[in-house]
Amino acid sequence: MAERLRRARGRDPLGLRRALSGPLLPGLVAAMALLAALAMAGAVAAAAMAARWEGGAAAAMMVQLPANAQTGPAAAALAALPGVAEAIPLERERLAALLRPWLGDAAGLPLPGMIELRLSTLGAGVEALPEAIQAAIPGARVEAHGIWVARLSALARSLEALAWLVLALVGAVAAAMVAVATRAGIAARHATIVILHDMGATDSTIASRFAGRIAFLAGLGAVLGAVLAAPLLYLLGGLAAPLLGNALAMPWGGLAALPPAAALIAWLTAQAAVRLWLRGLP
């Protein structure tokens, strides 16, 4: 046992197990990994919501025809409008079925002609569509809730972009943290590094030892962060399920990717920081 410990120390000539041993770095990386997991889940959920709303909005604009309008020609005129992918006349039976919960089986009632519009885009052109419909079929009434859905969808897309931005920011802060920890390690082992350098150790050898140790600690912290994030995301997913369906499903793949991603960021950052410092030696 003592011999194994002695050999392990020998394979760590910079003494980094002692110089970089505190819980600070893994703890901070764990906090960053937790934030990253939340941001990632937020981005995925926002993307799922936006996609669902976009799908719903595409079939959500209804046009009520005036009493004298013929359904067939009106549908053809509406289908020709820019931004309209399809104009589908609603059959009388389907309309009666939609009204049955409120009016009962009122077969004698005169029902207006209704046309469902599927839009090819939910972009800026949607705003102008009700006016174009009025111009094409004077007296038509437009139920334009698709525009509101489009706005909600755009909001969800913005939230998604914001969440990815937060994730990138968390990555950048983690990299800065690793750089500071690496500089602290260099300061603690300054004399030893110079001795190894003077004995012929290459920049690559010294940087790799630092990077390996720092990547191990960051990976460890990220595992802890992912483990803490899992029950939290499960809880949030359960709370949001009635509103969002399975949009907040557990991102197992993302959680599993956190430790290797954290280790990779730490390894690259430590390599760069140590090599930059070593450039100051001849």
Partner 1 sequence: MVRLEDITLRYRPGAAPALSGLDFALEGGSFTWLMGPSGAGKSSLLKLLHLAILPSEGRLNVMGTAIHAAGRKELPALRRRIGVVFQDFRLLPHLDVLENVALPLRIAGRGEQQLLADATELLRWVGLAERMKDRPEALSGGEQQRVALARAVVARPALLLADEPTSNLDAEQSRRMVNLLRQMHRLGSTVIVATHNEALPDEYPAPILRLEGGRLASHG
Near partner 1 by CB under 8 A: residue from 7, 92, 145, 190:
7
Question: Binding to partner 1 by residue 127, rule CB under 8 A?
Answer: no
Query: Closest distance between partner 1 and the C-beta of residue 15, in Å?
Result: 4
Query: Closest distance between partner 1 and the C-beta of residue 23, in Å?
Result: 20
Taking the least distance from each CB to partner 1, the nearer of 15 and 212 is 15
Which residues does 202 contact at the CB level (< 8 Å), separation at least 6? none
Question: Binding to partner 1 by residue 145, rule CB under 8 A?
Answer: no
Query: Closest distance between partner 1 and the C-beta of residue 5, in Å?
Result: 10
Taking the least distance from each CB to partner 1, the nearer of 11 and 242 is 11
Query: Closest distance between partner 1 and the C-beta of residue 280, in Å?
Result: 11
Percent helix, percent strand, percent coil in the chain, to nearest 5 = 70, 5, 20
Q: How many residues bind partner 1 (CB under 8 A)?
A: 20
DSSP string for 7-27: HHHHT-TT-HHHHT-SSHHHH
Query: Closest distance between partner 1 and the C-beta of residue 203, in Å?
Result: 8
DSSP string for 156-191: HHHHHHHHHHHHHHHHHHHHHHHHHHHHHHHHHTHH
Of 8-16, 74-82, 115-123, 129-137: span binding partner 1 (CB under 8 A): 8-16
User: In this structure, are residues 81 and 129 in contact, taking their beta carbons and an 8 Å threshold?
Assistant: yes
Question: Binding to partner 1 by residue 9, rule CB under 8 A?
Answer: yes
> Which residues within the stretch 165-194 sit at the binding site for partner 1 (CB under 8 A)?
191-192, 194
Taking the least distance from each CB to partner 1, the nearer of 101 and 200 is 200
89 strand-pairing partners = 115
CA separation for the pair 5, 19 (Å, rounded): 17
Of 13-21, 127-135, 217-225, 238-246: span binding partner 1 (CB under 8 A): 13-21
CA separation for the pair 4, 27 (Å, rounded): 29
Q: Which two tokens stand for residue 210?
A: 């630092």
Residues 191-230 as x/- pattern, contact with partner 1 by CB under 8 A? xx-xxx-xxxxx--x-------------------------
Residue 197, burial from CB neighbour count under 10 angstroms (0-12, 13-18, 19+): middle
Binding site for partner 1 (CB under 8 A): 6-7, 9-11, 13, 15, 18, 191-192, 194-196, 198-202, 205, 282
